[in-house]
Amino acid sequence: MKYMLIMRSTDQTFEAAADVDFSEILDSMGAFNDEMINAGVLVAAEGLEDASLGVVVDYSSQPPVVTDGPYGETKELFGGFWILDVASQQEAVEWAKRAPLAGPGMKAEIRRVPSIDEFPQDNKWVQKERAWRESTGQL
């Protein structure tokens, strides 16, 4: 089963990390990623650019409204993710506990990524996606 570990942080997290040398962050994340690679559980991992450089598409009106970052007052921001292929949610939790994400306001959210096999196989869009995944070696 695949699980996404979502890195979430707050303004407080960024303030606390302001004085941390970026090479230390890279070293700790690199070592953690290497551990997951060696264990055969890492499928993908990405960090995200600063939220102030992103945009938000708000669908509460038509047409949707696009707003530039920064987002103003936020409680939490999504900072990056790992996708793990593990046997259970508990195993994903155990990996998340080892992630180098210490600090005030820092959290990891864990969500299962459903398999394409869990969707209705008679749906034409599921069939198209399955064909695409097969053609790109993802299945």
Position 6 pLDDT exceeds 90: yes
Please state whether the peptide bond connecting residue 64 to the residue before it is cis, i.e. omega within 30 degrees of 0: no
CATH number at residue 92: 3.30.70.1060
Residue 82 has what pLDDT? 96
Q: Which uninterrupted H or E stretch holds 90? A: helix 89-98
Residue 90 has what pLDDT? 97
Mapped onto helix, strand or coil, the DSSP state of residue 39 is: helix
Find the range with the poorest average confidence among 18-27, 38-47, 87-96, 110-119. 18-27
Residue 70 has what pLDDT? 63
Amino acid letter for position 76? E
Residue 105 has what pLDDT? 83
Read off the pLDDT of residues 73-119 as tens digits, 9 standing for 90 and up: 567 778 899 999 999 999 999 999 999 888 788 899 999 999 999 99
Position 72 pLDDT exceeds 60: no
Q: How far is CA 95 from CA 104, 107, 122, in A?
A: 20, 13, 36
What is the extent of the structural domain holding 82? 2-135
Number of domains in the chain: 1
Q: How far is CA 84 from CA 27, 45, 91, 129, in A?
A: 20, 9, 10, 21
pTM listed for this prediction: 0.83
User: In sequence order, what E strands does the chain have?
Assistant: 2-9, 42-47, 55-58, 65-68, 77-85, 107-113
Residue 15 has what pLDDT? 78
Rounded to 10 deg, the angle between the 22-39 and 89-98 helix axes is 150
Q: Mean pLDDT throughout 128-132?
A: 96
Residue 74 has what pLDDT? 63
Position 55 pLDDT exceeds 90: no
Residues 6+ apart with CB under 8 A from 121: 127, 130
